[in-house]
Structure 1
Amino acid sequence: MGKPMNMKHGKVRTHIPHDLALCILSKLPVKSLKKFGCVHFYSLSGDKCENMVKLNFQNPFQEDDPLGFVLDSGSITGILCVYQYHNGKTAFWNPTPEEFKIIPPSPFLFRSPYQKFVVNPLGFGYDIVRDDYKLIRCVGYFNLEYEECEELGISWSDAPWKDLSYEYLWEIYSLKSNTWRKLDVNDSACSCFSNIAGVRLYTNEMCHWWQYGKKYDGVEVESFDLRNEVFFTTLVPLGDVYSKSLYMVGLNGSIAFISWTSGTTTFDISILCEIGVKESWTKLYSIGPFSCIEHPIPIGTWKNGFVFFRTKDNEIVLYDLQSQMIEELCIEGEHFSHILPYKKNLLSIGGINQ
């Protein structure tokens, strides 16, 4: 049983509810996908936290020391998306039967000798009408630094900088057809080039990610409808957003933001009631301050209003929004820990093992 903690206010939790069936703790980044022991499954049912599986997943990218990430939008019917930030290599992974599908390289990805690119997966989800898994991503192109040109034996002063293209590439992958397609995006800028957790989310056949606004001095949530392949933008009224830390999560089926001022232990939680409507943001909770948790950082949520926090000592604790109780879970995280809901899928899903 987890150990109860003294709180400044509220009650003390004595057990973890039975309906907390399963969660996945993914430590981001995963230094080597050969060592996917970094990804653990925990049963959070009954009165104890028990390590269920330690995975040793074969490196799907066939590299000696790849830098891999688990996309923080979560598990889609038991499937996870793993990727490499620096070269765009991507795979879909079903951990239960240990199946994976290496995504073919995009035919639209190009690079000048004087440029580097950053591939940013923004969303992974399931189109229920077409019975298809889809991945949307944005590719940004940037000039090489002077030192990088020297290392490659390229003259920086002779580079045709004015002739190079800096347009963002937006594309979508379909598992069913095993092909990439370009997306026509009018305002193609993307400021969401980040591997940190709490940036992406998948709900109700829509992929969401937040970024600092292009035309609005603040934060906006971009949403992409996988079925109709259209974008929606929702502004986020957070005041002085640059002084706040933000973490986007799913809460009871809705998009939610956990926001706090760095160095404090008071957190505001707001949900979005209608996509595209700035005025529909509603603050549901203001929690803390916590005298018993030093430098808490939110790392995920669970159904029925539970929030996971990582402490300064990398311990994972569970907070109940309704009862205001905190429970130590006897789980040690990492600096880049993130908790995602996961449900086992023993079946081979269309195209996943091809």
Structure 2
Amino acid sequence: MEKSATPATGKVSNHIPDDVAISILSNLPLKSLKRFESTCKSWSMLFQNPYFMKIYRNRIIQGNHSDHADASLILRHTIVLDNVVRPVVEPLFQSTLYFISGEKFENRVKLNLSLPFQVLGQDIYILGSISINGFLCLSNLLDDERKAVLWNPTTKEFIVIPSSPVESLPYRKFEAFIHGFGYDHVMDDYKVIRYVEFDSLSFYDIMSRGLSEQEASWKDVPMEPLWEIYSLRSNSWKKLDVDMSMVMSPETREETVRFYMDGMCHWWDKIEKDSDDGETYFVSFDVTNEVCFTTPMPSDIDDTFDIRLVKRQLVMLNRSIGLISYSGETNTLHVSILGEIGVKESWTKLFIVGSLPHVKYPIEAGKNGDIFFIKKDGELACFNLDTQTIKELGVEGDMSQIVIYKESFHSIRSIHN
């Protein structure tokens, strides 16, 4: 701390004017602010100070970050085909990807998906909410033909991720939930993390695979679930040694997929318990060291709302880990930020917005404080935390996705080869 002498007495003062202190503190990361709370009483009350909160919220919303500089937004719009009686080869869903821009997201440029369609069919979704070095990891929605590819829309570079050995055993059903797509900066490697479940074959499955019922029933086939990780550098899958009690059964496969930031893939999960419904945790997976860290979800979210009426979504809000909670009971939107991984107390509620009675549930954060959500009428819309205004995108939103995309000419062909 810089000391100064007063003109009248010549005494040295350690005092920093409050406005200067607040200006300095507002530029610190949340982790540091939480640790400095015990320094003095005024610092412990920072998050009750309206002036400080206004400055700090603006920094979170408007901060300049390299991942967002010159980044575009990709809208994935998927529709269910109307033809109920259809050939088996016809896809159930049809997806379209657009670059979107403009004050009201009115500018849309359709992406050429001919390469992904060849491998995945037309039911495409994007794993995660941000590109990595220009690459997206794409998969399909069909349960019986689940595949994944890496694709750079800028360079058109395209790599198919191979099947895992656990998929080849004929005497059990296989289902995978991809939880993350990340980059190992130490090994210059790209990795995909997934949770795999197995089940016994039905009579129809046995017949369709050309097996006899007697042969399939007596096979001693392990059914225990497992975690797997794919490495682009080795072009192979391997089993992960992580806590197998962490199991979430999402309503849709997309709900397990969140975002990559600072060398970690992040998602939320549930640790099951015999006595109740289990505890919900925020999970961070270190892509380089291949280890998991867990952070309990903030209890104040559950205490404030009737949890049965709350829709929650993890987001990356301008390089901060955010949790958006929307209460259908109070029609309010709460945004909390995580200061430090592993520390439940570092969750800090920064935004409370309401009343928003037309919101059904939030789906993603964009740039500069944009929160995308599905309206109760099924349309996709955007609420800006800074201007407090809502913009409608004019598309059906129930099967939509927003991804932050930063153009890159980086090639991964040499890694794969």
Q: TM-score, normalised by structure 1?
A: 0.79
Q: Does 1:234 align with 2:234?
A: no
- Assess if the C-alpha contact under 8 Å between 2:226 and 2:244 holds in 1: no
Q: Please name the residue that 1:89 is paired with.
A: 147
What are the Cα deviations for residues 122-151 of structure 1, in whole angstroms up to 9, with x where unaligned? 100111222211111121112334665576
Q: Please name the residue that 2:312 is paired with.
A: 246
Q: Does 1:283 align with 2:349?
A: yes
Q: Please name the residue that 2:42 is paired with.
A: none
1:116 aligns with one of 173, 196, 209: 173
Q: CA deviation at 1:94?
A: 0.6
- Assess if the C-alpha contact under 8 Å between 1:29 and 1:69 holds in 2: no
- Assess if the C-alpha contact under 8 Å between 1:57 and 1:98 holds in 2: no
- What SS does structure 2 have at the residue aligned with 1:159? helix
List aligned pairs for 1:23-172, cutoff 5 A.
23-27=73-77, 38-44=96-102, 47=103, 49-60=105-116, 62=118, 65=121, 67-84=123-140, 86=143, 87-113=145-171, 115-145=172-202, 148=205, 155=213, 159-160=217-218, 163-172=220-229
Q: CA deviation at 1:250?
A: 0.8
- What SS does structure 1 have at the residue aligned with 2:165? coil
Q: CA deviation at 1:270?
A: 1.3
- What SS does structure 2 have at the residue aligned with 1:234? strand
Amino acid at match of 2:74: I
Q: For residues 69 and 117 of structure 2, what CA distance do their matches in structure 1 show?
A: 36
More helix by share: 2
- Assess if the C-alpha contact under 8 Å between 1:42 and 1:49 holds in 2: yes
- Unpaired stretches in structure 2, ≥5 consecutive residues: 1-61, 63-67, 82-89
Deviates more, 1:18-27 or 1:261-270: 18-27
Q: How many aligned positions are there?
A: 330
- Higher relative CO (Cα under 8 Å, sequence separation at least 6) belongs to 1
- Assess if the C-alpha contact under 8 Å between 2:140 and 2:147 holds in 1: yes
Q: TM-score, normalised by structure 2?
A: 0.68
Over the aligned positions, Cα root-mean-square deviation in angstroms equals 3.4
Q: For residues 314 and 88 of structure 1, what CA distance do their matches in structure 2 show?
A: 27
- Assess if the C-alpha contact under 8 Å between 2:336 and 2:350 holds in 1: yes
- What SS does structure 1 have at the residue aligned with 2:217? coil
- Unpaired stretches in structure 1, ≥5 consecutive residues: 1-16
The 1:353–1:178 alpha-carbon spacing in structure 2 relative to 1, beyond 3 Å, is: closer
Q: Please name the residue that 1:8 is paired with.
A: none
Q: For residues 122 and 347 of structure 2, what CA distance do their matches in structure 1 show?
A: 40
- Assess if the C-alpha contact under 8 Å between 1:73 and 1:124 holds in 2: no
Q: Please name the residue that 2:395 is paired with.
A: 332
The 1:231–1:318 alpha-carbon spacing in structure 2 relative to 1, beyond 3 Å, is: same
1:224 aligns with one of 270, 273, 285: 285
Q: Please name the residue that 1:4 is paired with.
A: none
What are the Cα deviations for residues 95-130 of structure 1, in whole angstroms up to 9, with x where unaligned? 1222210012222434452x3111111100111222
Q: For residues 69 and 120 of structure 2, what CA distance do their matches in structure 1 show?
A: 40
Q: Please name the residue that 1:303 is paired with.
A: 367
- What SS does structure 2 have at the residue aligned with 1:177? coil
Q: Please name the residue that 2:338 is paired with.
A: 272
Q: Rg: which structure is higher?
A: 2
Amino acid at match of 1:341: I
Q: CA deviation at 1:23?
A: 0.6
